[in-house]
Every structure is written in C-alpha cells, then in structure tokens.
Amino acid sequence: MSETALYLAIQDVAAQYPQRRSAVLPALRLAQEAHGGWLPAEAFRAVADALELTPAYCKSVASFYDMFQLAPVGTHMIEVCTNISCALVGAQATLEAFESELGIRAGETTPDGAFTLRTIECLGGCGWGTVVSCDHRYKQHVKPADVPALIEELRHAEH
Amino acid sequence: MPSTEFEQIVLAGADDHDLTKLSEYEKVGGYQSLRKALGMERQAVLDELITASVRGRGGAGFPSGRKASFVPKPEQTTKPIYLTINADESEPGTFKDREIMARVPHRLIEGALITAYTIGSNAVFIYIRGEYLTEYEIVKAALDEARDRGLVGANIAGSSWNCTIVLHRGAGAYICGEETALLESLEGKRGQPRSKPPFPAIAGLYAAPTLINNVETIATVPAVIARGGAWYATLGVENANGTRVFSLSGNVVNGGNYELPLGTSLREVIYDIGGGIPNGRTLKAIIPGGSSTPILRADQIDTALDYDSVAAGGSMLGSGGIIAIDDRACMVQVALRVASFYQHESCGKCTPCREGTRWLVSLITKIEAGQGSNADLDLLVDVCGRIMGRSLCPLGDAAAMPISSYVERFREEFQAHIDQGCCPYGDQSSLDGILGPVQQAARMHRQLAVIA
Ligand SMILES: Cc1cc2nc3c(=O)[nH]c(=O)nc-3n(C[C@H](O)[C@H](O)[C@H](O)COP(=O)(O)O)c2cc1C
Ligand code: SF4
Ligand code: FES
C-alpha cells in the first residue's frame, strides 16, 4: 500500500466516527499492515499526519495494545494460548512442540524471518484448547503432534 | 453441542439454520421484534426490558432495563445519546460472546437496534476484541446485509427512524472490556479506566450519555420484545431470570458453550452436559465465572448457577465461564498462572493494582519454587487485602479475589510447598512449567542480560 493509499484509507475509516481521533486504532492497524506487520517511525508519522495528531501520541497509544508490534516480526505470527483452560489441557507441551519444530523459543523470530512465535493470553476458545492463533486465524484442539503440519500449512499460505 | 432439553433464547435456531444469513434469520422470526418495537412508544419498550429484568451478562449482573432507564431521555439532553456494545470478551474461561457473534450475528444487530431505539440513540458502536478476526468478518457481513435491506441506516424498516452501527476493533488489551476503559479506547486513547462518577449513562463516549451492554445481554432483547418481559421473567429462577450461555472448559470431556436456564447446577453442567472429567481423573476444583472469580472446591458441585447461590458458596457467577480443574493441577501453579494474567493486563494507572499484581506474581513464584516461608504466605494474603477495594477499577479486585480464595480453600497445598521446600507434585502437575506472556518477557530479558 502506498503512502497515499494509506492516507486515503485512514480518511475513510475516520469518517465513520463523530470525532476523528477515534480512528487511531484502525489507522494503526492499517499502517501496520502497510509496513510489513510492524510499526516503524514512518508508520507513526503517517497515522499522525492523517489524523492530525502527533507521532508520539500515536506511539504511546500503540504501545498500550498487544496487537501492535513496535519491532519487526516474522512473516507469519504464531500465538499459543497458555492461559488457564489451555494450560490445564497441555498448552505447555504444544508450545514446546512449536519451539522445537521452529528451533526458536517463545518470543523469538526464526533467522529467516518466516515465523514469530509467542505466548498469548486467553484467546476466547477455552473449551477447545489448546488454542493457537496462526496469522490471526484460530486453530483449536492443537496437540504437539499437529504442530509440524500447521507450520507446513503456514509456509505455503499466501501472505 | 448445546442440550436441546431446554428452550434456547440467545442461540435459538442456530442448530438448524445458518443464522449468519439474513434470509435464514427471517425464517425464525428475525427482525420482527424490531418492527414491533418501532411501532411502540419508547417507554413501553423500556418497560418490557425492565419487567424482563435481564441481569447484565458481562459480569457485574446489573439489571439491564434499569440501567437503560438511567440514560437521560432525548428531550432531557442536548447531546447525542450513544449505545456501545461490549464485545471485547477477554476474561479467561469465557468464549460465549464469540459464539453468539459467529452464529447469531443478526440477533445481536436486532437487539442493538431495539435498544438504541429505546434510549433514543441514533449511533451504535460495537467494540469487538481485536483477536476475533473471523467473528469481525461475520458480524461485518451481517451488518452489510442488514444495511442493504434497509434495516440499518436511514428510515429503518420503512420507519422515520435512523440509526448507524459502527463495528470497531480493539487491539489486544483485556482492560478495554472494563466499560470506561472501553470508552477511552473507542475515543482513540490508551485504554485506561476513568474514575466514576460520572457514570457512562450521564457522561460516557465523548462525554455524552452512553449505555454500555454486553453482547449476550443485547442478544436477549429480541426475544423479550417478541414474547414479553413477563414471559422472560418466568425463565430461570428468582433473582436470576432467563438463560445464560455458559462457557465450559478445562478438564472436562465436552468443552463448549451451552445455553441453559439460570439455576442449573454445576453438577449438571460438568457431568450431565459436559460428560465429566476425562481419563478417569477426579474433579478437584471449579472456577465458576471466569478466572477473576473465587474458586470452589469439588464438594461444592451441587451449587446452582444463579447469582445468589454462587455468592452463598463464596464466589460469583461472573461471566459464566466455568473451568473444571482435575487432581493433577498444583493449586499454587494455578494461582501463579491466574496472577500472571492480571499482572500482564494491569493498565498501571493506580498503585494498588500496578504494584500489587507484581507482588502477587513474585510471591507466588517464590512459594511455588519451594523457596517461600510462612511469612511470604502471610504477606501474599496481606497484599491481596491491600489491593481489594482500594483499586481504581475492578481489575484490582479481579486479581486479588481469586488468589486469596486459592490460599483460603487450598492452604494445605501452599503450606506443603513451604514445608517440603519444593512442589509436592514434582514435575507431574498439569501446569508444570507453564509459560505466560509475563514469564516469557522476563525470560528473554534475563537471556539478554547474560549476553550483555
Ligand atoms: C477488568 C474488566 C474487564 C471486563 N471485561 C468485560 C468484557 O470483556 N465484556 C463485557 O461485556 N464486560 C466486561 N466487563 C464488565 C463491563 O465493565 C460492564 O460492566 C459490562 O460491559 C456492562 O454490560 P452488561 O450490563 O450488559 O453486563 C469487564 C469489567 C472489568 C472490570
Ligand atoms: S485497578 Fe489496575 S487496571 Fe484498574 S485502573 Fe488501577 S491499575 Fe488500571
Ligand atoms: S484459556 Fe486458552 S483460549 Fe481461553
């Protein structure tokens, strides 16, 4: 997405709200998508400019929310819920299967930049644990044995 | 799948029809309640809601009709009136609103429109949690369909009434489910709670009168209007009218969402519907209403799921998220996992919660590792007391209440860690080594410090 397209997309979203500042979250999301999944300095400048705010303000808002990335991330994001219900049915074993299959630890990105793996708090699928969010699509009942196939699936997914 | 022995209200028809489609929803009477309401005086609709006395399904359980009556009438205010729907569902153990949005999105939209009409609002905001991408797409598609059919926007259903609905996505912050934090977030700010009063009904979104309701609360409204508040009030038990969509998870055979009358017992939910505890294990404890509610011991299995009975058992009905815990779980590890969540989600605005949640985690970590003393256990209970009732918003209580209940009801397990100098489960607890985002960050920082 070009800078101009991003600017126009943010204007579209902002028009939905009685006050334009309400569009900060959607605007940050658009900017993050336009910048490879994270928010570099120019992304904050773009959002600030489109909504007549300051970059520092936009960054302070972004830093409050877990879904905004302040540092580069892999092409694919794998988030394993380890909250209580998933933990009770074996989330830790599932997480460790991802760690060994990808050769990284939770919180890291593979050297080729393909995958970021992290733990996440309850995703709202607790009855069907372990829940794993792969590029923001939920996989439920994920067991360690399912992990290699899930990674293959992501490798071949378009992004 | 949900039991069919009871009449479903919120999820009605979803087993036999694809209610994400407007045409299918209309086959089960969809949008008839909206048309009926639009032909009634606002006050008459409000009276039905008050008679039904649906207690808020978001957790606090405040009667929704009465809450709607606190919003000033359009003629009493110069400001616009807003309806905000709380679809931020993030309380661990709770996943009912996600199912409602995924399976009956039009019922949510219809309920939102009727409620907006009732309070004289022309603008609805649905704040949906950011992680719910698939559900966002489903609700958005339903909204587009409803808009195309003249059910949202201008001259709704041929009337002279206008109402817009904006679907607003959150971005990953549990605290934004707290109503004033939600409003801050919706205004484009960090999601930090406001002090009350003023209450949102008087000064909410953009300082204008705002009604905030949970997804499930709103999804009951079409049935109340179709069949009357008095009919609805006959469902469930006294002081707990109607049905609830209970979320069942943890060590149970059939996890999932089940819409059941209030007053159903925990035993019926966990054993009759949920199929009991898997692998021949024994039930040890139950969290009855999401991870912020105090824990119950297995011998409280006959507690009825209504507000008063659960309160009499020393807990709360909360969000209706029931978590079954079997005998493999170390209770100190359960405490640690729950405390870690609230530390991660504390917004940091007030001292008791910001400092207290960190203290809880570090004390429980120490005790779990077998390095704690009796003084640490006393301090843990003391810290809970210093958070409770002293925090700016209820998140502080939500963090402290469960922890003090684990110590109170499973003190022998905490004591065993102290006396034996290790976890009595060895590495055999079902939660052994569990890594939450808080521990993940701490571990990375330690690694970096070693490299540096
Ligand atoms: C920390 C915290 C988190 C909350 N999260 C939610 C939530 O995710 N969804 C929800 O409906 N209510 C949540 N609530 C309750 C809301 O503040 C509010 O009471 C509710 O949305 C009102 O709707 P109701 O009256 O229909 O229940 C939360 C409260 C607190 C203190
Ligand atoms: S209690 Fe916690 S979440 Fe609530 S305002 Fe205080 S610090 Fe923020
Ligand atoms: S605990 Fe994992 S989805 Fe809720």
Q: At A157, is the pLDDT very low, low, confident or very high (cuts 50, 70, 90)?
A: confident
Q: Separation of B186 CA from ligand 1 center, angstroms? A: 15
pLDDT tens sequence for chain B (452 residues):
334 457 899 999 999 999 999 999 999 999 999 999 999 999 999 999 999 999 999 999 999 999 999 999 999 999 999 999 999 999 999 999 999 999 999 999 999 999 999 999 999 999 999 999 999 999 999 999 999 999 999 999 999 999 999 999 999 999 999 999 999 999 999 999 999 999 999 999 999 999 999 999 999 999 999 999 999 999 999 999 999 999 999 999 999 999 999 999 999 999 999 999 999 999 999 999 999 999 999 999 999 999 999 999 999 999 999 999 999 999 999 999 999 999 999 999 999 999 999 999 999 999 999 999 999 999 999 999 999 999 999 999 999 999 999 999 999 999 999 999 999 999 999 999 999 999 999 888 887 777 76
B192 contacts in chain A (CB < 8 Å) = 64
| Ligand 3 lined by A86 (C-beta under 6 Å) | yes
Name the residue with tokens 């007053």.
B263
Q: What's the ipTM?
A: 0.97
Residues 122-151 of A with CB under 8 A from B: 122-129, 133, 136-138
Cβ density class A27-52: b for 16+ within 10 Å, e for less: bbbbbbebbebebbeebbbbbbbbbe
Burial of B140 (0-12, 13-18, 19+ CB in 10 A): middle
Q: Select from A21, A29, A127 the Cβ nearest to the Cβ of B249.
A: A127
A56 to chain B nearest CA, in Å? 12
Window from A8-17, A85-94, B172-181, B440-449 with minimum mean pLDDT: B440-449
Q: Options 3.90.1150.10, 3.30.420.40, 3.40.30.10, 3.40.50.300; which CATH number does A76-155 get?
A: 3.40.30.10
> How far apart (Å, rounded) are the C-alpha atoms in residues B380 and B284?
23
Q: Separation of B57 CA from ligand 1 center, angstroms? A: 8
| Ligand 2 lined by B349 (C-beta under 6 Å) | yes
| Ligand 2 lined by B396 (C-beta under 6 Å) | yes
What is the number of the ligand 1 atom nearest to the C-alpha of B215? 11
pTM for this entry: 0.97
| Domains of chain B and CATH, by start | 22-234 (3.40.50.11540), 238-326 (3.10.20.600), 331-451 (1.20.1440.230)
What is the number of the ligand 1 atom nearest to the C-alpha of B180? 17
Cβ proximity of A87 and B437 under 8 Å: no
A16 contacts in chain B (CB < 8 Å) = 166
Q: Where are the alpha helices (DSSP H) in chain A?
A: 3-14, 24-34, 41-51, 55-62, 84-88, 91-102, 147-156
Instruction: Specify whether domain A3-64 bears CATH 1.20.1300.
Output: no
Q: Domains of chain A: which residue ranges?
A: 3-64, 76-155
CA A101 to chain centre: 20
Instruction: For A132, name the nearest residue in chain B, comparing CA atoms only.
Output: B131
B190 contacts in chain A (CB < 8 Å) = 60-61, 64
**% helix, strand, coil for chain A, step of 5:** 50, 10, 40
